[in-house]
């Protein structure tokens, strides 16, 4: 991310952009699924984004841990899917 683990300014900018996008996605989904608060999805994505940043750093540095870090980031996806499905079910009163 941002060229290297040592580019602290670039990392801060990238994290800021990812936070903005994470919050925007929460707001977008909330506009379509009012039963799912924007903050709920945004907060749920926080650990996945953090894990993805580690995976990107590892891949950029050709770390032997890159594949397992990417797998760890992807492992958060089912939890995000549960949050989305739960919000949609609540919104449509399917519980």
Residue 54 and residue 11: Cα distance in Å, rounded?
Answer: 11
DSSP 23-89: HHHHHHHHHH-TTS-HHHHHHHHHHHHHHHHHHHHHHHTT-TTHHHHHHHHHTTHHHHHHHHHHHHH
Instruction: Give tens-digit pLDDT for 47-85.
Output: 999 998 889 889 888 999 999 999 999 999 999 999 999
Instruction: Count Cα neighbours of 55 within 13 Å in the Cβ-side half-sphere.
Output: 15
Predicted structure pTM score: 0.77
Instruction: Give tens-digit pLDDT for 29-44.
Output: 999 999 899 999 999 9
């Amino acid at each position: 991310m941002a060229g290297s683990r040592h580019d602290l300014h670039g990392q801060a900018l990238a994290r800021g952009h990812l936070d903005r996008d994470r919050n925007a996605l929460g707001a977008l989904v909330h506009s379509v699924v009012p039963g799912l608060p924007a903050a709920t999805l945004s907060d749920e994505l926080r650990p996945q984004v953090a894990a993805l940043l580690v995976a990107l750093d590892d891949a950029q540095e050709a770390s032997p841990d890159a594949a397992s870090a990417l797998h760890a980031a992807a492992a958060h996806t089912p939890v995000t899917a549960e949050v989305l499905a739960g919000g949609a079910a609540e919104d449509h009163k399917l519980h």
